[in-house]
Chain A
Amino acid sequence: MSTFSFSNDVKILCGDHALDNLPFELRERDCTRPLFISDERSYRLGFVKEVRKAMDNDIIDFGATYFKVTERTCPKNCDDIITMYKAHGCDGIIALGGDNVIQCAKVAKLMLLQGVGDFVYFNHKTEMDAENAVYADLPLFILPTEIPSGIEATDRAYIFDEKNNFFYNFNSVLTRASAVILDVRLTDIMPAKVMATAGLGALAMGVKGFVDNAGNPMALAYATGAIHTVINELLPAMRHNSNSDYRISIYSSVINAGIAYYGIEESLLRDMTNELSIKTSLSPLQILSIIFPVYYKEKVNKDRVFKSVLMPVVGEEQYALSNAKSREIVAIDTLKEFWEKVVSLAEIPSKLREVGLEQSDFVKLADAVINRYKGTDPHNNFTTLVKLLEEAF
C-alpha cells in the first residue's frame, strides 16, 4: 500500500433548490460584495435571472456584474474580471455559466490571489507557485449551467491564448472553488445527444480516474461512483430527458469523475483531449466520448487494474460470478457494448473524421501533445499517439 494524498475542500451542493443556499454560503465566507460573472448565453436563457431571484430576499447584493465572458476562454476575459473586481471593491466571485465562464473565474481568482494585474504576466508560464498564498482566500462560487465539464471542483483551469497560440494549463489550489452549486433551475431539458456526450465523457473520466488512482481510496470512490451512475442512469436519462433527477445525477457524475480525472498528475489522454478540443472547437467531453474507446483498448492489456473496473460496471452479482482471470476482458467488452449502444441511440460521432479532423493533422497534433506531456511512461510516445489517432479516425 503506497502513500496517498487527497485534498478537495470544495463544497458540493446539488439538486433541487441548491441555489437557495447561495446567500448562506456567501455569508459563511463573509462575502458581502461578490462580483457576478456570466456570459450572454446564460443571460439569454434566464439563468442570470434565477440567480438574482435566489439573492432577492437577502441583504447581500452584487458588488458588480460582468456578463461579457466570450464563448471561448481568452486572456482578455480574465483581465476584464480582475479590473472589474478591483474597481468595485468586490470580495468574492460568483461564476455562472459553462466552461468558458468557469475557467476564466478560476484563473481570475488565481491572478487576484497572486497579485497578478495582467494576463501578460504569465508569458507562457504555466506553473504557478501557489505555496505562499494558500490561506489568502477569495471565495469563488461556481454555478454550472447546462452541462458541467468536470473541471468545476478541481484545481485545474485552462485558458487558450488564440493570439499567441498558447494553451495555458494551470494546476493550482488557488484556482479552487469554495463551492459548486448544481441546481435543476440552472439546467435545461437537453436532447439525448447532449446527455449521451456528458455521460460518456463522465464514464471516460471515471474509468481513467479509476485505473490511475488505484492506490488512492478517496479518488477511487469518486471514480467508482461516477462509473456506477453513468452505467445505471445514462440510458434512462436519455430516454426521459425531462426528468430532472436523472439529469442532475448524470451532471453530478461528471463533476465527481472530474475530481478523480483532473487529480491525476500527468495524463497523456488529458493532454490529447485538450489539443483535439482546441483543434476541433469541440468540448473535452465530446472529444473523450470519441477517443476513449480506442484509448482504453490500447491500455487494457498493459494494466491489470482494469479488471477492477468491472465491479462498478456490472455490479457485485456479476462480478462475483465472473472468471477472476478474465475480468479485464469482460470489463472492456461490457464497456464497449455500452458505449456502442449509447453512440448508436444518440447518433453522436464516434470517429474523429466525423468532426472535421484530417489525417494530415495527426503529426502536428501528436507533436504538440508529446511536447506538453510531462509524464514519464515510456509507452506514451509519438508513435503510440499517432497510432491511437489513426485508430480513432
Chain B
Amino acid sequence: MKNSGFYYEFYNPSKCTAGVGCLADSVSKLPSMGLSNAFFLCDDVEKSSAVDEVRKAVNAVKVRTGALYVNSEKTVCLASLREMRDIYRVNNCDCIIACGDYKVVNTAKALRMLLSGQVARFEDVKGINIARKKINIPLVVVPTSVGISNAVTSSVLVKDDDNNTFECVSPLCAPDYCIVDPSLTSVFDAPTTIAGALESFAKNVEEFVSKQAITLTKCMNLIAIREIRDNVFKVVNDPMDVQAVLGLQRAGLLAGACYSCTSAGVAHAIAGALANVTGSDNYICMGIVFAACMRYNIQVVEKDYAQALYYIVGDDKYAATPVQDRARTLIETSEKMIKELFEENGLPVSLSALGADEEMINKTVEETMKSYALVTNPRNVTKEDVYLILRSVM
C-alpha cells in the first residue's frame, strides 16, 4: 500500500432498535423526539394486525394519529405523494410513522424527503444529494417484512407521471428511527420470505465487493451473510420462528447501513431493470441473474468471494475447500441455495421461464446502463457485458 489518495465517507443517520418484543420500549422514546401528531402510513389495515399494534403502542405514549393513509403501491407515484403531502399539512401532522413492508417504507422515505426538503417538484431532486433539509420532519419506520434492507438506506424509488421509475439519493430519505420487532412481522408465504432473504443476501454480497467498500462495511456484510446462512431455511420452514426472522432482519439492517457508502453492483442494476421491463418482482429477477453476475465479477474479486465463502459454509467445508476453488464454490453454493428455494416454491429460474424475449432483453440492457449501481460495481460494465449476462440465464 502506498500513498494512493485513499478516501471514504461513511454515514448511517438512522437509529435502529431490533429485538423480539422491543416495540413498546422503543416507542416510549418517541415523545422525546418531539412527536405528537403523526401521519400514519401503512399498507393493509385489514389484514395486518401489526398496524393495529403499532398504532396502539404509539397512542399509549400520547402520540396521536393525525392522519391514516393506506398505500401499497410497489413503487410510489408522484400523484400519491402529492396527495399524502396535502393530507399531512391539512392535518397539522408533525412526523411520519410508517408500518408495513418495504413498499411502505420506500413511500414513507419519499414523503419525508418531499416534506423535509419542501420540494415543490419531485423531478427536481432526481439524482444524488440534490434535496436539502429545510424543516425537520421526524420519520419512524416499523418494517413488518423479512426483507428490510431498504429501511435505513438513503435512497428511494419513485414513479413519475409518465410511469418511469427514478431514484433519489439523499440523507433526507433515511429514517430517524427504525424499530424492528419480529413479532410484528406478518406470517408470509415462502416466496415472500425468500424475496426478503435474497434481497438482503444479494445486497450484502454486492456491497462486500463494491469499489467503495471499506473495512467497516465489509465486516458488516460478512456478519450479515452469516446471519442469513443461519436463518434463511429456518424461516422458510417455520415463518413463526421469530428469532430466525430477527436474524434475517438484522442482516437487512446491516446491508442498509452500508449502502450509502458502498451502493450495490451489476446484479442490482440488471435485476431492477429486468423487473421494470418484464413487470416481474424484483427478487425473482435477482434470483435469476445473481449467480451469473457473480461469475461476471469473479475475475476482479476472487479473493473477496473466497473470504465470503467461510460465512456461508462454516469451518469444516471452508477448510476442506482448496484455496483456488473457494470463490467458485461461493458462487456454486449461492446458486444452489437460490435454485433450491426457487424450485421448491415453483418460482422461475431462467429468463425463458419468466417469459422474457429478445426484445425484453435488449430493453433491459438499455435500462440497466442508466443505473447508479453500475458505478460501484468492481468491474466496469459495458452494454455487451449486460447482454451476455442476460443471455447466459436465458
**Chain A interface residues toward B at CB < 8 A:** 1-9, 11-18, 21, 28, 131-132, 134-135, 184, 217-218, 220-222, 224-225, 228-229, 233, 236, 243-246, 248-249, 253, 256, 312, 316-317, 319-321, 324
Contact = CB atoms under 8 A, between A and B. Distances in A.
A245 B3 CA distance: 5
Contacts of B247: 1
A143 to B, nearest CB: 15
B229 to A, nearest CB: 14
A220 B251 CA distance: 13
A319 B307 CA distance: 12
Given A18-B7, A243-B1, A245-B2, 11 more contacts: A1-B20, A1-B243, A1-B246, A1-B250, A3-B18, A220-B219, A221-B220, A245-B6, A248-B6, A249-B1, A316-B307
A297 to B, nearest CB: 26
A14 B307 contact: no
Contacts of B15: 5-7, 9
A316 B222 CA distance: 11
Most A CB contacts (10 A, CB to CB) among B3, B16, B22, B227 go to B3
Contact of A7 (B5, B16, B22, B34): B16
A11 B223 contact: no
B318 interface: yes
A199 B254 CA distance: 26
28 contacts: A1-B243, A3-B25, A5-B16, A7-B15, A7-B16, A12-B8, A12-B10, A13-B8, A14-B9, A14-B10, A15-B8, A217-B224, A217-B227, A218-B220, A218-B257, A221-B223, A222-B216, A222-B219, A225-B218, A236-B1, A245-B2, A246-B1, A248-B6, A249-B1, A312-B219, A316-B307, A320-B319, A321-B319
B1 A11 contact: no
Most A CB contacts (10 A, CB to CB) among B3, B17, B219, B250 go to B219
A5 B227 CA distance: 17
A16 B6 contact: yes
B348 interface: no
Interface of B: 1-22, 25, 32-34, 132, 136, 138, 214-216, 218-220, 223-224, 227, 243, 246-247, 250, 253-254, 257, 307, 310, 314-316, 318-319
A182 to B, nearest CB: 10
B227 A3 contact: no
A229 B215 contact: yes
A18 B216 CA distance: 18
Q: Which 5 A-B pairs have the closest CB atoms?
A: A3-B19, A15-B7, A7-B15, A316-B310, A320-B319
Contacts of B21: 3
Contacts of A134: 32-34
A224 B219 CA distance: 7
A8 B10 CA distance: 11
Contacts of B5: 15-17
A21 B10 CA distance: 13
A184 B214 CA distance: 17
Contacts of B2: 243, 245
Contacts of A132: 32
A15 B6 CA distance: 6
B1 to A, nearest CB: 5
Contact of A5 (B6, B17, B250, B319): B17
Contacts of B9: 11-14, 21
Nearest to A222: B216
A9 B11 contact: yes
Contact of A14 (B8, B17, B138, B254): B8
Nearest to A27: B132
B19 A218 contact: no
B318 A6 contact: no
Nearest to A228: B215
Contacts of A312: 219
Contact of A320 (B16, B25, B315): B315
A320 B12 contact: no
Nearest to B33: A134
B122 to A, nearest CB: 20
B223 A224 contact: yes
A1 B4 CA distance: 41
B1 A217 contact: no
Contact of A17 (B7, B10, B132): B7
Contacts of A229: 215
B7 A11 contact: no
B254 A218 contact: yes
Contacts of A6: 15-16
A256 B216 contact: yes
Contacts of B18: 3-5
B17 A3 contact: yes
A246 B214 CA distance: 14
A221 B20 CA distance: 21
Contacts of A11: 9-11
A87 to B, nearest CB: 27
Contact of B318 (A8, A218, A316): A316
Contacts of A316: 307, 310, 318
Contacts of A131: 32
B132 A28 contact: yes
Contacts of B215: 225, 228-229, 253
A3 B22 contact: yes
Contact of B12 (A9, A15, A253): A9
Most B CB contacts (10 A, CB to CB) among A2, A3, A217, A236 go to A217
Contact of B19 (A1, A243, A324): A1
B213 to A, nearest CB: 11
A330 to B, nearest CB: 14
Contacts of A220: 219, 223
B110 to A, nearest CB: 20
A153 B25 CA distance: 26
Contact of B13 (A9, A184, A246): A9
A254 to B, nearest CB: 13
A125 to B, nearest CB: 20
